[in-house]
Amino acid sequence: MGSCYKFSLFCFFCLVINLFADENADGIAKERASLLSFMAGIVSGSSKAFEGWNSSGVHVCNWTGIKCNNVSTRVVELDLNGRSLHGRISPAIANLSSLMILDLSKNNFEGQIPGELGNLVQLTELSLSWNFLQGKIPPQLGYLPRLEYLDLGSNKLVGDIPSTLFCNSSSSSLQYIDLSNNSLSGKIPLRSECELKDLRFLLLWSNKLAGEVPAALSNSSKLEWLDLESNMLSGELPSAIIRKMPQLQFLYLSYNDFVSHDENTNLEPFFASLVNSSNCQELELAGNNLGGEIPSIIGDLPTKLVQIHLAQNLIYGSIPPQISSLVNLTLLNLSSNFLNGTIPPQLCRMRKLERVFLSNNSLSGEIPSALGDIPHLGLLDLSQNKLSGSIPNSFANLSQLRRLLLYENQLSGTIPPSLGKCVNLEILDLSHNKISGIIPVEVAELRSLKLYLNLSSNHLDGPLPLELSKMDMVLAIDLSLNNLSGTIPPQLGSCIALESLNVSGNILEGPLPASIGQLPYLKEIDVSSNGLFGEIPQAFQASPTLRQLNFSFNKFSGNISNRGAYAYLKIESFLGNSGLCGSIKGLPKCKKKLTYHLVILSILLSLFATPILCILWIRTRFRRQLSVFNGGDLEDEEKENEELKYPRVSYRQLIEATGGFSPSNLIGSGQFGHVYKGVLHDNTRIAVKVLNSKTAAEFTGSFKRECLVLRRTKHRNLIRIITICSRPDFKALVLPLMTNGSLERHLYPSHGLISHGLDLIQLVKICSDVAEGVAYLHHHSPVKVVHCDLKPSNILLDDDLTALVTDFGIAKLVKGVDENNIPANDSMSFNSTDGLLCGSVGYIAPEYGMGKRASTQGDVYSFGVLLLEIATGRRPTDVLFQDGSSLHEWVKRQYPYRLEPIVEQALDRCAPPHMPTYYNKIWRDVVLELIELGLLCTQYNPSTRPTMIDVAHEMGRLKQYLSDPSLLIEEGSIKYHDPTSNKNGVNP
């Protein structure tokens, strides 16, 4: 009996196990079918996105992006973020009943979020951010009982936020909610009976949310990050709510319609509510029209605060000196308010301040000299106030100062020569004050100025200093409305980057130097209301860049035509010059003077010139026929090599070296032809760049342009040429073969995926090399060159991974070329690029698309794209084709608070495993600096971009920082604040 019972029990267990196994097998089969249904909804994606999927011999647990439970082998994670997937999210995913993590972020999904996702009852993490999802948020998502992490940010979602997300028993487990950067409307649906006790991150910025901040949010006492910026929220600042959030670190309420307490007159309750948030680091309340005074209790805020942003409000009263207790503050922005009183000298106690904005207020009194004791101060904006007295000499101590803005005050005295010690100064604006005296030589020779110098509307006198000519990076100089005298020095023609010059409203005299009209980028010049005389130099009319000119109210004379740069002008540009005449409407017509002697001279010249021209024509014709008779190739090849002084390599030798230009030796292709590798008889390994024979005649100018550039430029970071080979039907450049290939090959070795091959130190060194090479082309080469096509494929790496810039096929020679040695019929053009758009898609500066001339700033833009490409791991064309925006615009949307995922991915690609924590911080700083420099280089307005010399300096500094961090840590050069990750500590 007992044996029968045991046997029956054994049979029962076997039956249960078999039933369980059958059920599990059925479940796995259903999951496979669901995944294949999901894949069927994908139109396109990266080549490895679905590696192993739909292979009969591969278990679903081994498919790309999938993880399974070790026991049941059921799918628990589907992670396909950043795979460039296009299509719609299939509801079939809801059949993955054991799924815990679903991450489809950073793709190109369209359509609506399937409501069926609400059936995934095991789900703890859902991330669909950075797609193009539309429609409303399904309310079913609010019923997921275990959901901890919800990220739907940066889509095109509309409508109200479903109340189920914030208010039901299932939502109580949520720790992270990100619905930012959508078009959501309505109120934040959090009622008094709702409790999100575990919520730590709430990001709702950049929507259309209205109403007040719900009081029930005070139940979320663990909140660390609250971002409600850029909505239409209203009511009083949520003091009672904030008071119950002791762990708050980042609070962003800017650009809403909040008011302060007591009918918008009292800010003290709000600041008091933050006193106990001991970890608070950043506070932003800008653009809310908040009224009241800044209370002295601001000094009791947590000392961990690094940023306070109160700009664009209605705050009045004085700046309380107690604010100086915030000793870790790096940014203080109180601009565009109604502040009065004096600037507290106690601000000097805030030794870590880097940027101070106090502009557009009613501050009075003198500028405290103590501000010169803030060692890391890089920007000081005190403009548009009522400050008086002189500029403190102590500013000479500000070695990191880059921007000093003191315009529209009541400052007097002289410009202190000690400002010349601010060797990093980029902008100096002292305009619209009462400053007198001369322009000090020390200030005039500040070569670091690369944006603008504005000393207009003061009482300055004396001559224009010759030292101004040393400002070879400055984009604009405005010295108008002063009492400057003497002549305009021709040496100003050395300000090679100058785009705007205004010296109007002075008492200058003498002729206008032609050298200024020859500046290659000059767009605007105003010399009106002076005493200048003589003819206006022809160089101004011939300038291809000038668009705004004002010569009025001087003593100019001569003929003015309506051609060239003058075609844009009206009589207003020439008023008050009685000696001028010409074809500009409103000017008197010039009288024609044709003398008897001129008639006789012209007849004699024509009699002698005609037979000479005929002889020259016959001689040229005969030489051309002889060349054709001899096949043309020998004469052309010998002439080209003799002119360029290169060793002779014959066409036959190139055929032998490349195996008859065999496809197996092809190492690259481009717009103008192909590049082959080969070996000469002396074992020299070469790369032969062959111009496409079908378009050889069309692109002859491009070939000669590259030859000329390579002949006259010599730099360790520019490719050197071995020789050239030129025949009527064949043209080639012979270059040394770079065994490490191009930078593109290392960034994207296969399948378009960015590589782990180069670490951050190597990448920074390569970028530093490129910056040095291009800076040489722009500023130091005997032939001033704009490259026009900077990109990874045009950066070669030698055996030591030293970068060499190559491919000058569409480069523009902008200055220093001996044009007399270039035949008139040569197709090389100095004012166009032969109908070509300057550069490659994704790297082209935006101004080129509007028909602007190629410029050094265009190269700076391309270099900035390269930096952003390396930092983000994204090709610029990927971003362009996904959402139509440039890589700059895409990164700018993340800056500065949403860069963490980008930095993490960069470290994954470029950092060695098990890197020490100390170096992790250093490398993170460098990645952030690369992003910031990339954004600076790719600004839309070319005039706001840095020059390549400055970029090379910054890259050299980063390279040095990586090799010896202590040097720059002491100097405080790395300034970017790295906020806590959005996902920090959340472990679904």
If pLDDT is split at 50, 70 and 90, which confidence band does 921 have?
confident
Element housing 274 (H / E) = helix 268-274
Specify the CATH architecture of the domain 633-737: 2-Layer Sandwich (3.30)
> Are 487-592 and 745-988 in the same CATH fold?
no
Whether 375 has a pLDDT exceeding 60, the answer reads yes
Q: Which pLDDT belongs to residue 54?
A: 72
Region at 23 (left for phi over 0; alpha for psi -120 to 50; beta for the rest):
alpha
Q: What is the mean pLDDT of residues 879-908?
A: 77
Q: What is the mean pLDDT of residues 600-608?
A: 52
pLDDT tens track for 212-258: 999 999 999 999 999 999 899 999 999 999 999 999 999 999 999 99
Q: What is the mean pLDDT of residues 677-706?
A: 71
Q: Write the DSSP symbol of residue 926.
A: H
> Torsion over CA of 566, 570, 571 and 576, rounded to 10 degrees?
-70
Q: Which pLDDT belongs to residue 611?
A: 53
Mean pLDDT (the chain) is: 81
Q: Which pLDDT belongs to residue 821?
A: 37
Q: Token digits for 873? A: 């791991």
Q: Which residues contact 771 (CB under 8 A, 6 or more apart)?
A: 863, 948, 951, 952, 955, 956
If pLDDT is split at 50, 70 and 90, which confidence band does 207 have?
very high
Query: Which residue ranges make up the annotated binding site?
Result: 689
Q: Which pLDDT belongs to residue 5?
A: 54
> Torsion over CA of 957, 960, 962 and 967, rounded to 10 degrees?
-90
Residues 496 and 519: their CA atoms lie apart, in Å, by 6
Q: Which pLDDT belongs to residue 644?
A: 42
Whether 18 has a pLDDT exceeding 60, the answer reads no
| Cβ 872 vs Cβ 961: under 8 Å | no
Whether 340 has a pLDDT exceeding 80, the answer reads yes
Q: Which residue has the higher pLDDT, 451 or 469?
A: 469
Cα angle 917, 922, 924 (rounded to 5 degrees) comes to 90
Q: Which pLDDT belongs to residue 180?
A: 92
pLDDT tens track for 743-786: 988 887 643 444 447 888 899 999 999 999 999 888 887 777 88
Q: What is the mean pLDDT of residues 306-330?
A: 94
Classified as helix, coil or strand, 813 is strand
Q: Which pLDDT belongs to residue 160?
A: 95
If pLDDT is split at 50, 70 and 90, which confidence band does 457 have?
very high
| Cβ 226 vs Cβ 232: under 8 Å | no
Q: What is the mean pLDDT of residues 561-572?
A: 88
Strands of the sheet with 531-535, listed across from one edge: 436-437, 459-463, 483-486, 507-510, 531-535, 555-560, 579-582
Q: Which pLDDT belongs to residue 899?
A: 84
pTM: 0.63
Cα angle 505, 506, 507 (rounded to 5 degrees) comes to 135
Q: Which pLDDT belongs to residue 170?
A: 61
| Cβ 927 vs Cβ 905: under 8 Å | no
* Distance, CA of 550 to chain centre: 34
Q: Write the DSSP symbol of residue 266.
A: B
| Cβ 179 vs Cβ 137: under 8 Å | yes
Q: Which pLDDT belongs to residue 860?
A: 95
| Cβ 508 vs Cβ 532: under 8 Å | yes
Q: Which residues contact 222 (CB under 8 A, 6 or more apart)?
A: 197, 198, 199, 200, 247
| Cβ 178 vs Cβ 152: under 8 Å | yes
If pLDDT is split at 50, 70 and 90, which confidence band does 919 have?
low
Q: Which residues contact 373 (CB under 8 A, 6 or more apart)?
A: 348, 394, 397
Q: Which pLDDT belongs to residue 851?
A: 62
> Residue 89, class by beta-carbon neighbours within 10 Å (0-12 exposed, 13-18 middle, 19+ buried)?
buried
Residues 484 and 480: their CA atoms lie apart, in Å, by 9
Q: What is the mean pLDDT of residues 564-582?
A: 90
| Cβ 828 vs Cβ 705: under 8 Å | yes
pLDDT tens track for 117-144: 999 999 999 999 989 899 999 999 988 9
Distances (CA, A) of 630 to 171, 655, 700, 730: 88, 21, 21, 16
Lowest average pLDDT, out of 478-482, 768-772, 914-918, goes to 914-918
If pLDDT is split at 50, 70 and 90, which confidence band does 725 have?
confident
Lowest average pLDDT, out of 60-69, 891-900, 957-966, goes to 957-966
The yes or no reply on domain 487-592 and CATH 3.80.10.10 is yes
Going by DSSP bridges, is the β-strand pair 125-127/555-560 parallel, antiparallel, or unpaired? unpaired
If pLDDT is split at 50, 70 and 90, which confidence band does 612 have?
low
Q: What is the mean pLDDT of residues 367-380?
A: 93
Q: Which pLDDT belongs to residue 624?
A: 43
Supply the residues annotated as catalytic: 789
Q: What is the mean pLDDT of residues 812-821?
A: 41
Going by DSSP bridges, is the β-strand pair 507-510/531-535 parallel, antiparallel, or unpaired? parallel
Q: Which pLDDT belongs to residue 568?
A: 80
Q: Token digits for 388? A: 């008086």
Q: Which pLDDT belongs to residue 528?
A: 95
Distances (CA, A) of 949 to 434, 860, 952: 34, 10, 5
Q: Which pLDDT belongs to residue 666?
A: 81
Specify the CATH architecture of the domain 745-988: Orthogonal Bundle (1.10)
Going by DSSP bridges, is the β-strand pair 257-259/183-186 parallel, antiparallel, or unpaired? unpaired
Element housing 967 (H / E) = helix 965-971
Whether 968 has a pLDDT exceeding 50, the answer reads no
For 367-388, what is the HEC assignment?
Answer: CCHHHHHCCCCCEEECCCCEEE
Lowest average pLDDT, out of 642-656, 714-728, 732-746, 786-800, goes to 642-656
pLDDT tens track for 926-935: 999 999 899 9
Residues 92 and 78: their CA atoms lie apart, in Å, by 13
Domain chopping of the chain, boundaries: 487-592, 596-629, 633-737, 745-988
Find tokens 């930012």 and name the residue.
Answer: 180
Q: What is the mean pLDDT of residues 455-466?
A: 95
Residues 35 and 12: their CA atoms lie apart, in Å, by 35
Q: Which residue has the higher pLDDT, 444 or 618?
A: 444
Residues 953 and 960: their CA atoms lie apart, in Å, by 11
Q: Which pLDDT belongs to residue 836?
A: 43
Cis peptide bond N-terminal to 896, omega within 30: yes
Q: Which pLDDT belongs to residue 884?
A: 56
Find tokens 């979020």 and name the residue.
Answer: 113
Lowest average pLDDT, out of 76-90, 325-339, 480-494, goes to 76-90
Share of the chain above pLDDT 70, in %: 80
pLDDT tens track for 419-432: 988 888 888 999 99
Q: Write the DSSP symbol of residue 570.
A: -
As a residue count, the chain comes to 988
Q: Which pLDDT belongs to residue 976?
A: 29
* Distance, CA of 252 to chain centre: 24
Which of 202-211, 843-852, 906-915 shows the highest mean pLDDT?
202-211
Query: Which residue ranges make up the annotated binding site for ATP?
Result: 689
Q: What is the mean pLDDT of residues 794-801?
A: 88
Residues 123 and 794: their CA atoms lie apart, in Å, by 47
